[in-house]
Amino acid sequence: MGLSKSEIATCAKRIASTSDRRNYNDIVKLISQYPDFSKVQESSFEEDEHTLRYLTMALMPVFGKLFARGQLNPSKAASEKEKFLSQWCRKVYNSYKAKLLQCISSLSFETSLALDCLDVYMQLLEQEAIYLASHDGAPFFPNKTLKALIVALLKSNIQGSVDAADGHSKNSVILEFSASYYKKYVDIQYYFQAETAQLVADSEMMESFDATQLFAKWLSIMNHDNHYLSEEADLEIYVPQPPQAMENEAQYKSNLEKNWLALLNLNGLPITQYKTTLLVLHKRIIPYFQAPTKLMDFLTDSYNLGDDVVSLLALNGLFELMRRYNLEYPNFYQKLYLLVTPRLMHVKHRSRFLRLTDLFLSSTHISANLVASFIKKLARLTLDSPPSAIVSVFPLVYNLIKRHPTCMIMLHDPDYIDDPFATPEQVASLKERKEQYTDPFKIDEKNPEFTNAINSSLWELESLTSHYHPNVATLAKIFSQPFRKHNYNLEDFLDWSYDSLLQAEVTRKLKVLPALEFEEQGTIFGEYVRCVEW
């Protein structure tokens, strides 16, 4: 160790400029300048980083020259002696590559050197594709080189690189690889999937990685829209002559599918990563699968995780599979019904739940019992919900009743109308019926088909006509008015909150002066507000 920049420069220049082979030994000297990256400390690395970058950059054109001189391909060597030289050069070259990969994989902190190494490595990969092909212009992709890179990338273990919010990896090398290479080049995508499929099959190797890190990296690389098979993808090829095999779409699909499933089956993934995956399931995963129904197990597992949002998203995925890919999933609505808990109205994902529930229940071919159970349960929950939740339940229930008119009996039971022209017997029987009546709804029943909600009635919604917020009270009156509106647009009601309600109130103009209290109420505490003292 200890060559300065200028020395490196002269060495590299000497090798590159003249074809004098005696200088080649300097390459070994230069490569030996690299430290053992696994032992490098972050504090002491700062000074060396500069020199190392310079070294890397200097060596890159040296090997470029070697490529150009054809001294890295032993199979093309003209004589025995040449072949020997080529083999030696190749060995040196491999050791250079190994150093680059080590820099990527072993450093436990982020440096820009790793990014430079990646760039240089990818350039070398391109050179290999040109010069190491069986003959000039023959299609060739150096997949072994790529595989080594993938392994290095996956090995790279930088503390705190997993984003807590969405489970992506923030590792800059990964991001660089994804942004500059994976997203842009179709051949890299194809071979990346192919090589990863081989890696994934190697269970020992997989176990050696940290699952969270691994999946985070995978997400960072895969979570975009510019894919091999997508129609509007804008992709180029990286190497000049990629092999024909690359056009095998089915192979790509099956590789991708294999990779996804293998990675999704990793144990101990955090909830955030499940969430991220489920969020992009529709657009970025399902379309590229050969048999999307294979996701069913993953989705069921996600549902069983117990997190409300993840369960909901899993149901959303299942719904998509049922709708588009003929998946049979008999317990779907039961599972959905189980998510309607008292907590639901007070959590953030409420509007998403209601939006999706509206979608799931949009079929007119589901049973009235089931719809009635949902209506009744949601209505029950409104009794301790904030006004924003209540106003979003109203239009949903309205639309459901409109779609399933059989459920109207929950709002209007003609058997209990007070008829002013009834005979005394009828009046007596009505009175008896009213007295006999007990609510048959079973709130604790888990299966929505058996809750008997259809025989109950929506007193909850009726009571909300005396809600303290005038808008909610007025909206509640839609259930006692004729159902003339075709349906309500649910989106208009979903995104209310205390904030927006209050904003709407305080920006209102003072047209009429607020009315004052005219009664005397004594002192404020104790008499006006009782059981409270100053």
Partner 1 sequence: MAGSQLKNLKRTLKEQGFTGQANVKGSTKGNKRQAREYDRDERAQQIAKIREQFNPFDMKVNRDKRAPQGSQKHAQKTVGKPGISKQIGEQQRLQAHEARQSRKNKLGGVFDRRFGERDKNMTQEEKMLERFTRERQAQSSSKTSIFNLDDDQDEDDAFGGNSGDLYGGNLTHYGKSLALEDEFEDGDLGLQESMAAGESSELQDPKRKKTKAEVMKEVIAKSKFYKQERQKAQEKLQDDIQDVDEEFDDIMSELNSLPKRKAQAEVKVADDSDKQYDTKVRELGLERRAEPADRTKTEEEIRKENDEKRSKLEQARIDRMNGMLEDEDRGVEDLGDDFWQGGDSQDEFDEYAPDSTQQEDIELGSDSEDNQFKISETVSLLSCPQTLEELNAFLENHSAGDHVQLVKGIVRSFQPRLAAGNKEKLGIFTGVLMRHILSISESYASDDVEAFKEMQNGLIAVLKSLAQKYNEPLSLACRDIIIEMQARFKAQRSHGLSAADLVFFTLVGFIFSTSDHYHLVVTPCNVLMGEFLEQIKLNSFQNIIFCAILARISLSYQRISKRIVPELGYFFERALVTLLPLSETELAGRNLGNYKRDASNLNAPSKIPANPLENYQLNLRQICRADRSIEDDEKIALLCNILSSLDETISKVWRELTCFAELTCSFRQILMEYTVIYPDFQMPRAILDKIERLNKLNKHYPLSLQNHRPLSIPTHTPKFEENFNPDKKSYDPDRTRNELNKMKAQLKKDRKFTMKEIRKDTRFEARQQIDQKKNDYSDYHAKMARIVNQISTEEGAEKSKYEREKRLRSSKK
| Subset of 168-187 contacting partner 1 (CB under 8 A) | none
Could you say which of 46, 210, 439, 492 contacts partner 1 (CB under 8 A)? 439
Measured in residues, the chain has a length of 534
- Binding of partner 1 at residue 443 (CB under 8 A)? yes
- Residue 428 CA neighbour count, 13 Å, CB half: 3
- Binding of partner 1 at residue 411 (CB under 8 A)? yes
Whether the Cβ atoms of residue 92 and residue 98 lie closer than 8 Å to each other: no
Q: Which stretch binds partner 1 (CB under 8 A): 106-114, 186-194, 198-206, 496-504?
A: 496-504
- Binding of partner 1 at residue 343 (CB under 8 A)? yes
Distance CA 512, CA 241 (A): 79
Give 165 or 510: the residue with its C-beta nearer to partner 1: 510
Distance CA 409, CA 412 (A): 5
- Binding of partner 1 at residue 47 (CB under 8 A)? no
- Binding of partner 1 at residue 262 (CB under 8 A)? no
Min separation Cβ 361 and partner 1, Å: 22
Distance CA 182, CA 190 (A): 9
- Binding of partner 1 at residue 458 (CB under 8 A)? yes
* Chain centroid offset of residue 259 CA: 16
Give 224 or 469: the residue with its C-beta nearer to partner 1: 469
> In which region does residue 367 sit, left (phi positive, over 0), alpha (psi from -120 to 50) or beta (all else)?
beta
- Binding of partner 1 at residue 499 (CB under 8 A)? yes
- Binding of partner 1 at residue 502 (CB under 8 A)? yes
Residues within window 98-137 making contact with partner 1, judged by CB under 8 A: none
Minimal CA–CA distance to 392: which of 307, 476, 308?
Answer: 476
- Binding of partner 1 at residue 429 (CB under 8 A)? no
- Binding of partner 1 at residue 413 (CB under 8 A)? yes
Q: Which stretch binds partner 1 (CB under 8 A): 50-58, 176-184, 342-350, 487-495?
A: 342-350
Q: What is the longest distance spanned by two Cα atoms in the chain?
A: 122
- On the 0-12 / 13-18 / 19+ scale of CB atoms within 10 A, 472 is buried
Could you say which of 433, 487, 491, 495 contacts partner 1 (CB under 8 A)? 433
Distance CA 276, CA 310 (A): 9
- Binding of partner 1 at residue 469 (CB under 8 A)? yes
Min separation Cβ 496 and partner 1, Å: 11
- Binding of partner 1 at residue 463 (CB under 8 A)? yes
Q: Which stretch binds partner 1 (CB under 8 A): 171-179, 239-247, 290-298, 465-473?
A: 465-473
Give 25 or 426: the residue with its C-beta nearer to partner 1: 426
Could you say which of 292, 317, 387, 395 contacts partner 1 (CB under 8 A)? 387
Residues within window 73-102 making contact with partner 1, judged by CB under 8 A: none
Could you say which of 42, 126, 415, 491 contacts partner 1 (CB under 8 A)? 415
Minimal CA–CA distance to 214: which of 181, 169, 272?
Answer: 169
Could you say which of 102, 380, 395, 407 contacts partner 1 (CB under 8 A)? 380
Residues that bind partner 1 (rule: CB under 8 A) add up to a total of: 73
Whether the Cβ atoms of residue 15 and residue 27 lie closer than 8 Å to each other: yes
Q: What are the phi and psi torsion angles at 277 (to 5°)?
A: -60, -45
Minimal CA–CA distance to 523: which of 509, 513, 533, 512?
Answer: 533
Could you say which of 437, 446, 485, 492 contacts partner 1 (CB under 8 A)? 437
Q: What's the Cα-to-Cα distance from 187 to each of 55, 236, 248, 527, rounded to whole Å?
A: 30, 8, 11, 80
Give 44 or 521: the residue with its C-beta nearer to partner 1: 521
Distance CA 379, CA 372 (A): 10
Could you say which of 113, 460, 486, 492 contacts partner 1 (CB under 8 A)? 460
* Chain centroid offset of residue 406 CA: 39
- Binding of partner 1 at residue 243 (CB under 8 A)? no
Quick check: helix, strand or coil at residue 18? coil
- Binding of partner 1 at residue 462 (CB under 8 A)? yes
- Binding of partner 1 at residue 495 (CB under 8 A)? no
Could you say which of 21, 29, 91, 434 contacts partner 1 (CB under 8 A)? 434
Give 321 or 345: the residue with its C-beta nearer to partner 1: 345
Q: Please tell me what DSSP assigns to residue 511.
A: -
Q: What's the Cα-to-Cα distance from 151 to each of 31, 101, 195, 515, rounded to whole Å?
A: 22, 9, 10, 74
Min separation Cβ 203 and partner 1, Å: 38
Could you say which of 190, 220, 457, 493 contacts partner 1 (CB under 8 A)? 457
Could you say which of 112, 341, 363, 487 contacts partner 1 (CB under 8 A)? 341
Distance CA 345, CA 113 (A): 50
Contacts of 452 (CB under 8 A, 6+ apart): 369, 440, 441, 442, 445
Contacts of 309 (CB under 8 A, 6+ apart): 275, 349, 352
Min separation Cβ 272 and partner 1, Å: 22
Min separation Cβ 526 and partner 1, Å: 8
Distance CA 466, CA 462 (A): 8
Min separation Cβ 448 and partner 1, Å: 17
- Binding of partner 1 at residue 512 (CB under 8 A)? yes
